[in-house]
């Protein structure tokens, strides 16, 4: 089975509960994705650096509990990154981050030096692309994956408040889009990154050497586009409790399906994605019916996961 590697931050999401108290939950998009894959029955490994503080131990225990491969995690003295998550009247999120001198700034692929790669998958986001060390770690991992005919998946997962300069964010994201096979963006991110109407925005992505663009649309589902085909998938109407981690659940389900069907660079563009997109949208829909990211991944009733 092809392995799913995800690289990037793992942090504490403090979510406001109905009693107006902030409750700590494990979070961080790459970690969320790894747990979603495991909850569905797949295989995943997280590449990150975790603090040796109380929160870091809690995060490591979370990964172990969910049987995510933790062999590629480096433990450091720096403190754990914190995010305070609040919801508006539509249960959409806003974030306040505490991320100065935190463990997530010290990513390394040294633990993977003896790893034998096959046609594996590598998934990452933009939060961990803010410093030279982390950027270099991502570039090295992308090269390892591509050297073994693996797939590179990028979800920018933009958190604008973390970036002092919009131009740097844009330049960094587009640099890594060019290195990716699969790119997933929300409707809002598509607009932000291109400042174009949707049709022209899609065209601008395919001026790059990407193979597939996925646009998530919240309650309206998702769209998957290749140079040859387009798929549109509606989402089932549900009562939304919290959208935190829904995009990670979607991408976890998507990569899980690719993993199960042994989809790689040789057959990526020959597959009918109707059922895969439907499955991924359904998993995201399930996650928004519960509070938090990882705690919301309750997929026991997914009959098509095997």
Between 82-96, 135-149, 173-187, 205-219, the lowest mean confidence (pLDDT) is in 82-96
Q: What is the domain extent for residue 281?
A: 4-8+27-77+111-296
Is residue 33 domain-resident? yes
SS3 161: helix
Q: Give the pLDDT mean for 187-191.
A: 97
Indicate if the pLDDT at residue 306 is higher than 60. no
Q: Give the pLDDT mean for 108-136.
A: 96
Q: From the CB of residue 80, how many other CB atoms can be counted at a distance below 10 Å? A: 24
- pLDDT computed for residue 304 by the predictor: 46
Q: How far apart are CA 68 and CA 47, in angstroms?
A: 11
Between 15-24, 25-34, 60-69, 153-162, the lowest mean confidence (pLDDT) is in 15-24
Is residue 41 domain-resident? yes
Is residue 85 domain-resident? no
Is residue 70 domain-resident? yes
Indicate if the pLDDT at residue 305 is higher than 70. no
Q: What is the pTM of this model?
A: 0.95
Going across the sheet that includes 82-87, the strands are 22-27, 11-16, 82-87, 93-98
- pLDDT computed for residue 122 by the predictor: 98
Confidence of residue 291 (pLDDT cuts 50, 70, 90): confident
Q: Give the pLDDT mean for 187-195.
A: 97
Is residue 53 domain-resident? yes
Q: Report the number of distinct structural domains present in the chain.
A: 1
Q: How far apart are CA 109 and CA 151, in angstroms?
A: 18
| CATH number for the domain that contains residue 66 | 3.40.1190.20
Between 39-43, 162-166, 170-174, the lowest mean confidence (pLDDT) is in 162-166
Indicate if the pLDDT at residue 290 is higher than 60. yes
Burial degree of 91 (CB within 10 A; 0-12, 13-18, 19+): middle
Across the chain, what does the average pLDDT equal? 94
Confidence of residue 93 (pLDDT cuts 50, 70, 90): low
Q: Could you tell me how many residues make up the chain?
A: 306
SS3 24: strand
Is residue 69 domain-resident? yes
Indicate if the pLDDT at residue 214 is higher than 80. yes
Is residue 84 domain-resident? no
- pLDDT computed for residue 92 by the predictor: 64
Between 83-92, 131-140, 153-162, 172-181, the lowest mean confidence (pLDDT) is in 83-92
Is residue 101 domain-resident? no
137 or 95, which is more confident: 137
């Amino acid at each position: 089975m092809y392995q799913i590697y995800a690289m990037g931050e793992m942090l504490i999401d403090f979510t406001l509960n109905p009693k107006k108290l902030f409750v700590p939950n494990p979070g961080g998009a790459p970690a969320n994705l790894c747990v979603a894959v495991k909850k569905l029955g797949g295989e995943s490994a997280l590449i990150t650096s975790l603090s040796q503080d109380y929160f870091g131990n809690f995060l490591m225990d979370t990964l172990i509990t969910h049987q995510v491969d933790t062999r590629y995690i480096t433990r450091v003295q720096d403190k754990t990154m914190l995010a305070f998550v609040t919801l508006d009247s539509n249960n959409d999120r806003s974030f306040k981050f505490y991320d100065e001198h935190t463990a997530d700034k010290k990513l390394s692929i040294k633990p993977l030096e003896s790893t034998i790669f096959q046609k594996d998958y590598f998934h990452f986001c933009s939060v961990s692309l803010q410093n030279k060390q982390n950027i270099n770690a991502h570039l090295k991992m992308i090269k390892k994956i591509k050297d073994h005919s693996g797939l590179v998946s990028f979800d920018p997962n933009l958190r604008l408040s973390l970036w002092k300069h919009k131009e740097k964010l844009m330049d960094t994201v587009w640099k890594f889009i060019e290195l990716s096979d699969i790119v997933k963006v929300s409707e809002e991110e598509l607009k932000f990154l291109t400042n174009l109407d949707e049709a022209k925005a899609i065209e601008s992505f395919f001026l790059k050497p990407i193979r597939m663009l996925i646009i998530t649309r919240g309650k309206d589902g998702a769209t998957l586009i290749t140079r040859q085909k387009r798929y549109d998938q509606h989402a089932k109407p549900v009562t939304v409790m919290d959208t935190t981690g829904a995009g990670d659940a979607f991408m976890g389900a998507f990569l899980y399906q690719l993993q199960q069907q042994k989809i790689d660079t040789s057959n990526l563009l020959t597959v009918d994605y109707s059922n895969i997109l439907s499955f991924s949208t359904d998993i995201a829909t399930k996650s928004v019916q519960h509070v938090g990211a990882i705690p919301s991944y309750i997929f026991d009733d997914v009959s098509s996961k095997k």
